[in-house]
């Protein structure tokens, strides 16, 4: 069994990372414009979740071994 992700897998993770960064940027930008407290809470939760996801995706790209599984 291979110890590392293949190049195409790494590139796919990079694509997802790019998309998640874009979504996070949009959420943070929209948070400043939103006035509804419930929607603000949803956006705040999304920022937290997205930040964790981005951190995990960065780890996968930086350390391509499967030790995290």
39 occurs within a structural domain: yes
Contact 47, 32 (CB under 8 A): no
- Each residue's pLDDT tens digit, 9-21: 999 999 999 999 9
Cα–Cα distance measured from residue 27 to residue 22, given in angstroms and rounded to the nearest whole number: 9
- Ranges of H-type helices in the chain: 7-31, 37-62
42 occurs within a structural domain: yes
36 occurs within a structural domain: yes
Indicate the number of domains in the chain. Answer: 1
Give the percent of the chain with pLDDT over 90.
75
Q: What is the pTM of this model?
A: 0.78
What is the CA 6 to chain-centroid distance, rounded? 20
12 occurs within a structural domain: no
6 occurs within a structural domain: no
| Predicted local distance difference test score (pLDDT) of residue 1 | 42
Residue span of the structural domain in which 24 resides: 20-62
Higher pLDDT, 68 or 41: 41
């Amino acid at each position: 069994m291979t110890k590392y992700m293949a190049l195409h897998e790494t590139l796919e993770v990079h694509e997802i990372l790019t998309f998640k960064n874009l979504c996070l940027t949009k959420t943070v930008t929209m948070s400043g414009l939103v006035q509804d407290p419930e929607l603000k809470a949803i956006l705040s939760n999304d920022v937290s979740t997205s930040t964790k996801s981005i951190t995990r995706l960065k780890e996968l790209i930086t350390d391509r071994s499967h030790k995290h599984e």
